[in-house]
Amino acid sequence: MKKLIVLLFILSIFEVNAQSDTLFLTFRNSAKESTARIISLSNGYGILNYNYNYADIGNFYSLYLTDFDGNIMQRLDTIRVGNMNIESIQNIEDTDEGILLLANVQLGFLQDAFISIWLDYDLKHTQVRDTFYLNKGEDLIFLKGFKQNTTSGLSESFGLVYDPSMDKNISNIYVSHSKSGKFSRIKKVSLLINPTYIMDFVWMPDRITYFLTYWDRTSMTLDEDFNVLKSLENTYTYKIGDTTFHTIYTFYGCDYNGAKLVCAGTGGPKNNYNFSMSEIGLEEDSLYIKSLHPLLPAGTRDDIVLATLTTDGLGNYIGACAGLFNPFNNAVDPNKLYVTKLTQDLEPTWQIVFQNGKEMANGDMITDKYDDIGIIGSLWDSEFLGKTQGYFLKIFHDGSFTNIVDPHYGSYQTMKIYPCPAHEVLFIDMESPDNFSGDIMSLDGRLNKSFLLKDSHESLDISSLTPGTYYIHFYKKGFNLIQTASFVKI
Co-location of 358 and 452 in the same domain? no
pLDDT band at 351 (very low <50, low <70, confident <90, very high): confident
Could you tell me where the beta strands, DSSP code E, fall in 120-258? 126-134, 139-141, 147-148, 155-163, 168-177, 183-189, 198-204, 209-214, 218-223, 228-233, 235-240, 243-248, 250-256
Higher pLDDT, 89 or 471: 89
Residue 202 has pLDDT above 90, yes or no: yes
Domain boundary among 394, 412, 430: 412
Co-location of 287 and 352 in the same domain? yes
Residue 3 has pLDDT above 70, yes or no: no
In this structure, what are the phi and psi dihedrals at residue 341, rounded to the nearest 5 degrees? -110, 130
Order of strands across the sheet that contains 209-214: 198-204, 209-214, 218-223, 228-233
Q: How many domains would you assign to the chain?
A: 3
Which pLDDT does position 215 carry in this prediction? 92
Q: From the CA atom positions of the chain, what is the Rg in Å?
A: 23
Which pLDDT does position 40 carry in this prediction? 95
What is the percent of the chain with per-residue pLDDT over 70, rounded to a whole number? 82
Co-location of 265 and 323 in the same domain? yes
How confident is the model over 422-432, as a mean pLDDT? Answer: 81
How confident is the model over 291-312, as a mean pLDDT? Answer: 87
Co-location of 298 and 425 in the same domain? no
Co-location of 22 and 41 in the same domain? no
What is the percent of the chain with per-residue pLDDT over 90, rounded to a whole number? 41
- Supply the CATH number for residue 228's domain: 2.120.10
Co-location of 480 and 454 in the same domain? yes
In this structure, what are the phi and psi dihedrals at residue 179, rounded to the nearest 5 degrees? -65, -30
Which pLDDT does position 155 carry in this prediction? 97
In our burial notation (b when 16+ CB lie closer than 10 A, e otherwise), range 172-202 reads bbbbbbbeebebeeeeebebbeebebbbbbb
In our burial notation (b when 16+ CB lie closer than 10 A, e otherwise), range 86-123 reads bebbbbbbeeeebbbbbbbbbbeeeebbbbbbbbebeb
Which pLDDT does position 82 carry in this prediction? 86
17-21, 217-221, 453-457, range with the lowest pLDDT? 17-21
How confident is the model over 433-460, as a mean pLDDT? Answer: 80
Burial bucket for residue 252 (CB in 10 Å: 0-12, 13-18, 19+): buried
Residue 34 has pLDDT above 70, yes or no: no
Co-location of 396 and 258 in the same domain? yes
Average confidence score pLDDT of the chain: 82
Domain boundary among 152, 171, 194: 194
Co-location of 48 and 2 in the same domain? no
Which pLDDT does position 272 carry in this prediction? 83
Residue 324 has pLDDT above 90, yes or no: no
Range picked from 50-59, 175-184, 268-277 for highest mean pLDDT: 175-184
DSSP labels for 403-415? ----TTT-----E
Question: Each residue of 38-88: pLDDT tens digit?
Answer: 999 999 999 998 876 544 556 788 898 998 888 889 999 889 888 888 989
Co-location of 182 and 208 in the same domain? no
Domain boundary among 194, 226, 256: 194
Which pLDDT does position 52 carry in this prediction? 64
Co-location of 205 and 183 in the same domain? no
pLDDT band at 397 (very low <50, low <70, confident <90, very high): confident
Residue 384 has pLDDT above 50, yes or no: yes
Q: How far apart are CA 5 and CA 147, in angstroms?
A: 36
How confident is the model over 351-367, as a mean pLDDT? Answer: 83
CA–CA distance from 3 to each of 21, 215, 321, 403 (Å)? 11, 36, 20, 15
Residue 412 has pLDDT above 70, yes or no: no
Which pLDDT does position 24 carry in this prediction? 57
**210 with 248: CB under 8 angstroms?**
no
Co-location of 251 and 340 in the same domain? yes
Co-location of 114 and 181 in the same domain? yes
Residue 477 has pLDDT above 70, yes or no: no
Residue-range definition of the domain harbouring residue 429: 418-489
- Supply the CATH number for residue 423's domain: 2.60.40.1220
Residue 475 has pLDDT above 80, yes or no: no
pLDDT band at 5 (very low <50, low <70, confident <90, very high): very low
Residue 425 has pLDDT above 50, yes or no: yes
